[in-house]
Amino acid sequence: MSETKPGWKEILIAGVPFKSSLEYKTGDWRVFKPVIDDNKCIKCLLCNIYCPDMSIKVRWDETGNKALGVYVNYEYCKGCGICADICPVKAITMVKEER
C-alpha cells in the first residue's frame, strides 16, 4: 500500500478497471504458500487443472508433449491450498509465509 495510487479525477468512472488483470498481483494476499516436492510429484497435473488462478505452471520437455514437472507462479498464487488438497501423493505442502 506504499505505492502512490491515482486520484478520483484520474481513474475511470463506474469502478471499471483501468489496467490488465496481469497487473493486479494477488500473490501478496497469501498467508501459506504451496511448496512442491519434485521427488514425490508424479506429474499427473491435477494441481494445474484445479488451480483457480492458473498459478501452477507446467514445465514441458522440448517436444511439448511430456511434462517434466510443475512450479508455482508466486506473483499470483493466493495460497488457497487447493493444489495441496488435490495432490494424490501429497507432494505439495503449505508453508507459512515469512515476510
Partner 1 sequence: MAKGKLLGVADQEELLLNGDEAVAWAVYHVEPDVVAAYPITPQTIIVERFSEFVADGLVRTEFVSVESEHSALSACVGAAAAGGRAFTATAANGLQLMNEILYITSSLRLPIVMAIANRAVSGPINIHCDHTDTMNVRDAGWIMLFCEDAQEVYDTVIQAFKIAENPKVLLPVMVCFDGFLISHTAQRVKVFKDPNVVREKFLGGPRKPVKIKLMGQEVELSLNPKNPIPVTFGPLDLYDYYFEHKRQQSEAMQNAYEVIREVHDEYAKLSGRSYGNGLIVPYRLEDAEIVVVVMGSAAGTMRYVIDGLREEGVKIGLLRIKSFRPFPYKEIAEVLKNAKVIGVFDRAQDQGMMGGPLFLEIRAALYDLENRPTVVNYVFGLGGRDAPPELFRRAFDELVGIAKGTVKPFIRKYIGVRE
Binding site for partner 1 (CB under 8 A): 1, 5-8, 11-20
Q: Which is nearer to partner 1, 5 or 99 (CB)?
A: 5
CB of 30 to partner 1, least distance (A): 17
CB of 19 to partner 1, least distance (A): 7
Q: Is 48 helix (H, G, I), strand (E, B) or coil?
A: helix
Calpha distance 34→52 (Å, rounded): 14
CB of 1 to partner 1, least distance (A): 7
65-68-74 Cα angle (round to 5): 115
Residue 15, all three cell numbers: 469502478
